[in-house]
Amino acid sequence: MRSGRLGTRLAAALALSLAALLSGCAGIPQSGAPQIGQVVPADGDPEVEFLAVGPEKDATQEQIVRGFIDAASSPRDDYATAREYLSPSIRSEWNPDASVLVDLANQRVFAPVDELNMLVTLEPVASVDEAGEFTEFTDPETTSSVYSLVQIDGQWRINSAPDGVVLDEQKFSEVFNPYSLSFFDPTWTHLVPDLRWFPSRASTGTQIVAALLAGPSEWLNGAVSSAFPEGIKLTSNAVPVVNDVAQVDLTSDAFDADEVTLQRMQAQLSASLSGVSTITSVSIAVDGNVQNIPALTLAATRVDPRALALTEEGFGFLGGGTVEQIPGLSPQIEALGATAAVVNQNYSLAAVLNADGVYAVRQSQETGLRVDARPGLIAPSLDRFGFLWTVPEDEPGALLAARADGSQSSIASSWPDASSIQSIQVSRDGTRVLALVHTVGLPRLLVAGITRSADGTPVSLGEPLGFAVGAGVGLSATWVDDVTVASLVGASDGRGEVVTQVIGGESGTLATVDDAVQIVGGNTARQLRALSSTGSVQVLRTSVWQTTSKGVFFLATQLGSPG
């Protein structure tokens, strides 16, 4: 797990690329028709600062290989400087966009194999594939590649090289940025981020659109939808930008799209391209015919920034030393002797745990209905479709979705190696589930896509992404925002290690927190709250956890807010 320059740039870039997704109840920017102006030149790379150096005269084989790897840090002019190190026979065949290997530069080893071949051994820490999907290596192993060389006019050049580029951590953070491709939830009301990484250059917008048209990452298949029909493409392999307007010209397949579908296409494109600094809006054309598309307003996933908790004064929102109760819900939750709760987006339904099981508490009724009486249940989750997610700690595969009327459906889970489960939480858009489990005695954080039936019933979970967490006993996990999760692991000395994980990005470790038993997210990382065993609520301020409330029995999770 690494935090630092890359993590800092990631946070800043995400603040831009997720702005459209995290704004409250606002329409995705749709306006801005193309106007006459100067097109960004195809060979311009305004966001890339690293300048590559070409091969020196009479350079040795090792110098040529080292120089090639270093020069591939610059994507300017389609990696033109790096190609100078290649023989003419492979100069146009080498594909730098095939992958990125992020390594520790001081661990590189160059060794001759024979007179014409050089072995390069690397210690990778992460990789990016051709689709821009980032993978962080929790247990990295060294990897080796052979570079073949040939003499041309008395100068060594590379005649065989693996596709892709090798970047150290610092150069990767300078050249690549994260961009959130946007897909829809099954109800077409929420945008769901699918983080990808691309080099910053004039063609970045084209890469983003091409990746969007290709569909979501494999782990999200079945959980999200796209307004773009399968097989649709750009009429030319370019997305020109004119006066900050990205011009997306689609093939004739888009002629069959009705106005609502075109609105959804534009919403996906606008949100996906929002992280590109040179683009402020998007124009869609079909075979050159510009479409006039009205704006589409989407639902927000923001929650009330105040902590929601059960205290000595009752259940409700904390603020100013008082507890603001939720009419219809708070009295029932208090009467049940609740030990955990999650409340839906309009405060009409809550999933509540007590000593007897999990209850559905509805604002419209006077008493809660027990929907699961199995022993050993952990804190339940709730999704925006109204399903309560329940599972016993020692039976992580026995996952149930209960309706508020008490009927149940089993959910086919995707963690067969888990021996126990400590925390489960569905994302606010209802497309993904976060679970903290123990596998072979070690805590592990999992995120999986949710496949639902036509009526919204969760049916199965996709193959999960697995992330490392701190050493110790897994205690709690939460969604920090739409693309970031956090886990709390307790050490034997009572200190809690909090690890944040960007899904599709890097992990980072926050300052340790004393005696923590639970963490709950808000709208940003600054609203992440930790609860101690003695009832103190703490919030991270700079690098220190500070107490903001006391006398709290548990923190509740929110799915949204009515506003």
- pTM value > 0.85: yes
Alpha carbon of 451 to those of 144, 414, 480: distances in Å? 39, 12, 22
Q: Of 258, 263, 290, 557, which is closest to residue 427 (Cα–Cα)? A: 557
Backbone CA torsion sign across 466, 471, 477, 481: negative
346: three-class secondary structure by DSSP: coil
Quote the tokens at residue 262.
């075109």
- What are the CA-CA distances from residue 544 to residues 9, 242, 395, 539 (Å)? 22, 46, 36, 8
Kindly report, residue by residue over 451-500, the tens digit of the pLDDT: 999 999 999 999 999 998 888 899 999 999 999 999 999 988 888 999 99
Q: Please tell me the distance from the alpha carbon of residue 336 to that of residue 204, in angstroms, as a whole number.
A: 54
Indicate if 315 and 271 belong to the same structural domain.
no
Same domain for 358 and 261: no
411 plus 325 within the same structural domain: yes
| CATH code for the domain of 500 | 2.130.10.10
Residues 214-227 have pLDDT tens digits of 999 999 999 999 99
Query: Of 290, 324, 355, which marks where a domain is finished?
Result: 290
**pLDDT at residue 50 in the model:** 64
Do 221 and 326 fall into the same domain? no
- End-to-end CA distance of the chain, in Å? 37
Helix (H) or strand (E) holding 21: helix 19-22
**Is there a domain that residue 29 lies in?**
no
Work out the percent of the chain whose per-residue pLDDT is above 70: 91
- CB 423, CB 379: distance < 8 Å: yes
User: Do 361 and 497 belong together in one domain?
Assistant: yes
Q: Do 363 and 271 lie in a common domain?
A: no
**Is residue 517 in some structural domain?**
yes
Range of the domain at 282: 5-19+177-290
Q: Which two tokens stand for residue 381?
A: 């989750």
Paired tokens of 462:
């996709």
How many structural domains are present in the chain? Answer: 2
Structure confidence at residue 494 (pLDDT):
84
30-59 pLDDT, tens per residue?
A: 333 333 333 333 334 444 456 789 999 999
- What the block records as the tokens of 164 is 């892709």
Say if 110 falls within a structural domain.
no
Task: Say if residue 259 is in the same domain as residue 363.
Answer: no
Q: Which of 229, 264, 290 is the last residue of a domain?
A: 290
Are residues 370 and 498 both part of a single domain? yes
Residue 545: count other Cβ atoms within 10 Å of its Cβ.
Answer: 23
CA gap 252, 46 in Å, rounded = 33
Token representation of residue 260: 């609502």
| pLDDT higher than 90, residue 253 | no
pLDDT tens, position by position, 314-357: 999 999 889 999 999 999 999 999 999 999 999 999 999 999 99
**Which H or E element spans position 369?**
strand 369-372
- Do both 329 and 472 map to the same domain? yes
Q: Which long-range contacts (CB under 8 A, 24 or more apart) does 54-60 make?
A: 54/81, 54/84, 54/85, 55/84, 55/85, 55/155, 55/157, 57/155, 58/154, 58/155, 59/155, 59/156, 60/156
Which DSSP string corresponds to 273-291?
A: HTT-TT-SEEEEEETTEE-
Q: How many CB atoms lie within 10 A of CB 27?
A: 16
Are residues 262 and 222 located together in one domain of the fold? yes
Identify whether residues 262 and 202 lie together within a single domain.
yes
* Mean pLDDT of the region 423-442: 95
* Same domain assignment for residues 245 and 374: no
In a domain, 187, yes or no: yes
Answer yes or no: is 27 within a domain. Answer: no
Is the pLDDT confidence value at 14 over 90?
no
The predicted model gives 62-74 an average pLDDT of 96
Q: Which is more confidently placed, 157 or 252? A: 157
Name the DSSP class of 75: -
Q: Do the domain assignments include residue 44? A: no
